[in-house]
Amino acid sequence: MSSQTVLYLVIGVAVLALLIVRQLRTRPVRGNERLILILGIIGLVEAVEYMQKLHAGSAAYVALIGSLVLAAIFGVARAATVRVWLENGVAMAKGNVLTAVLWVAAVAAHLGYDYLIGQHKDIGNLGDATVVLYLAVSLAVQRVVTSARANRLGAAPASSVGTRPF
């Protein structure tokens, strides 16, 4: 295992821990989107570096798209486990143990998918290099679904909500 792979995995585990801790706290549904933006940028940089180093062909891009679809599916599933309610007109959300379990399952599925596609000689370790991007996409999809649920409750506009990120 290369030091680059270890670094990608350490970053991914740290981000996963951060996301789980934040998901188990009560927070406004809408707020500052900085966390998703930061994770997305870091994830894109890591993915682009890997794809350039790999001189990726179409198989790598198809595998990456498949991984991101998996991320979206887990985002939708997790959003269903988040409790959403109104508090003084502001939509609030809080995940539970199942939310945390689904985060871990999402990463396990991502790495399992990587193992399966890694049998292709040109795209080994793609999952290690794209784990942060995967987490960013999964979180973004979860946020969109949770926000839609909050809108159905008649939540206040986003501008009246605090700026704490998800």
Instruction: Give the H or E element holding residue 13.
Output: helix 3-23
Reported in sequence order, the residue ranges of the chain that DSSP labels E, i.e. its strands, are: 27-28, 83-87, 90-94
Q: With cut-offs at 50, 70 and 90, classify the pLDDT of residue 165.
A: very low
Domain annotation covers residue 33: yes
User: How many structural domains is the chain composed of?
Assistant: 1
Taking only the tens place, the pLDDT of each residue in 101-155 is 999 999 999 888 888 877 666 677 777 788 889 999 999 999 999 999 999 988 6
Nearest in space to 132 (alpha carbons), one of 52, 27, 50: 50
Domain annotation covers residue 163: no
Q: Would you say 94 and 27 are in contact if contact means Cβ atoms under 8 Å apart? A: yes
Domain annotation covers residue 164: no
Average of per-residue pLDDT across 72-86: 96
Domain annotation covers residue 165: no
Average of per-residue pLDDT across 41-51: 89
Domain annotation covers residue 101: yes
Domain annotation covers residue 56: yes
The arrangement of strands across the sheet holding 27-28 comes to: 27-28, 90-94, 83-87
**Whole domain around residue 117: which residue ranges?**
3-156
Q: Report helix, strand or coil for 152.
A: helix
User: How would you label 30-54 residue by residue, b for 16+ Cβ within 10 Å and e otherwise?
Assistant: bbeeebbeebbebbeebbeebbeee
Instruction: Enumerate residues 6+ apart whose C-beta is below 8 A from 42.
Output: 11, 132, 136
Domain annotation covers residue 166: no
Query: Per the structure block, which two tokens stand in for 44?
Result: 């894109």
Please determine, for residue 158, whether its predicted confidence score (pLDDT) is greater than 70. no
Domain annotation covers residue 69: yes
pTM of the model: 0.84
d(CA 100, CA 94): 11
